[in-house]
Amino acid sequence: MWRKAKWIILSAAGVALMLAFSKPADTYFEVAKNLDIFATLFKEVNAYYVDEVDPKQLIRKGIDGMLESLDPYTDFIPEEELEGFRITTTGQYAGIGALIGVVNRKTVITHPYKDFPAYKAGLKVGDEIIAVDGVDAQGKSTAEVSTLLKGPAKTNVEIRVRRQGVKNELVFKIKRERISIRNVAYAGMLNAEVGYIKLDDFTPGAGKEVADATVKLKQQGAKKLILDLRDNPGGMLHEAVNIVNLFIPKGKEVVSMKGKVADWNKTYTTLNNPLDTEIPIVVLTGEGSASASEIVAGAMQDYDRAVLVGRKTFGKGLVQATRQLSYNAQLKVTTAKYYIPSGRCIQELDYTHRNADGTVDKVADSLKKEFKTSKGRKVFDGGGLDPDIVIEPEYLGTVTVALISAGHIFEYASKYCGEHPMQPDLKTFRLSDAEYDKFIAWLKERKFSYSTPLEAETKQLIEAAKQERYYAELAKDLETFKNKVEANKTADFTRFKQEITEVLEQQVAFHYALNEGQALVSMSRDRAISESISLLSDLQSYRSILTPR
């Protein structure tokens, strides 16, 4: 085992030396020296440590520790994890076309993708998977069940499920297909003139999907457009370029990459004739909009082609590339920073200059540089994209978060849909007060409990008083305060009734009609969408935002 490991390490040293050919001689020496130290250290630990060590695990921890000191995006991908990495980056695999998850210790279908095998066969959100091809799925991890469900295209799989509201177990025989996950989660008309596109990913085909959705919406009468990039973590760079190309002229710069290897520096420009350079556009952004999402939103802002509405974006201005390693492993490594048309880089965290304790700081406001859009509006680098219209965040109450985390919102939605199999008109769907009361009674039967931050801090305060020997003097006041905190907690189901009801309604709608159902229920309550519709109805105000002040 040691000889094989040593051969791998020395081979890596040779590769590292070849890659460092352009560096000074002292770098050659430091690379060789430290790899030799690592190899001899590994040999000594492997030979003399008191207990048996797993060489593979030990090396993996060393690799992970080394890469962790760089940034969160540089990763080692061993051969056994390669398929999962490909699925994440391409959105393609062979299987039934459904997400699964664990809800209250049950493995359930959480999202059957529309028009793929699971959906066409009749599997529904909330179906509990009992067995796959006769193999008991209960007690298995989602990774194990997922492996059972996946397989070569055109092969059959038998899935046995339990469904809320149905007495007997159901059996589905499904033929696997090549699955290509859609990037556009939903597209539809918000009113007679405003079209809406929710883009969730940037896997292959994202540009074409947005183009097709735009054409279809225009055919339905759309004269204005909202592109929703909230909670979109990004993906393939060229798909971001393709999407920008739909709305700005051919030959315009979209993004440039600049890194240590000069030969890899590249500028991406629009290569095709655009779809529409005039339609008014609002791009919705949030703290979950990152990477490719920021390229699209940033380029549209820099060319004054769209108004950004929402919240500041994540601030990921780093570019990754994959490099082939020995034994079919790969390295995903940060190779460059990207710069949008105004010249700004929107990377927020400075991983190069870490603090002594290893923490990373944001780029200080004093170090941010001013840039100009094509019309001369002021924009800044170093901290994500600032929206033109800011929508202040709305935070869910502790009780609502606890209900979601515990899976009770999801499970009650499954129960509700099982008891009401006929889908209602989701545009007007609302849960009644009586149904909310049934939900609260159901929670009590399940002995739902949760802890609020104030409750936890009260307990800490009482413990601190006991340790400091002040409790005897403060006992009465502390007990009074504790009782008030508990009374307030008891009232949470009344205080947050509207919020809990809305979250539950969205989940019920998703159970009925997936992304489309959720959109139909939630969009009328979405402040960012409402603000965008109002802005687009007043084109004078829209254009004034895009004009330098």
Catalytic residues: 291, 302, 316
Tokens 């200059």, residue located: 353
Q: How crowded is residue 52: how many other Cβ atoms within 10 Å of its Cβ?
A: 7
Total length of the chain: 549
SS3 state of residue 244 = helix
Got the DSSP string for 404-463? HHTTHHHHHHHHHHHH--S---TTT----HHHHHHHHHHHHHTT-----HHHHHHHHHHH
Q: Could you tell me which residues are beta bridge partners of residue 227?
A: 197, 283
The dihedrals phi and psi of 347, each to the nearest 5 degrees, come to -60, 130
> What is the DSSP secondary structure assignment for residue 530, as one 8-state letter?
H
Q: Kindly tell me the sign of the dihedral angle through the C-alpha atoms of 365, 370, 374, 375.
A: positive
Q: Say how many Å lie between the first and final Cα of the chain, rounded.
A: 69
Instruction: List, as own/partner pairs, every contact residues 266-272 make where C-beta atoms lie below 8 angstroms and the sequence separation is at least 24, other chains included.
Output: 268/237, 268/238, 268/241, 269/241, 270/241, 270/244, 270/245, 271/245, 272/245
Q: Where are any strands of DSSP class E within 206-252?
A: 224-228
Name 202's bridge partners: 235
Sign of CA dihedral 283, 288, 292, 295: positive
Residue 532 DSSP label: H
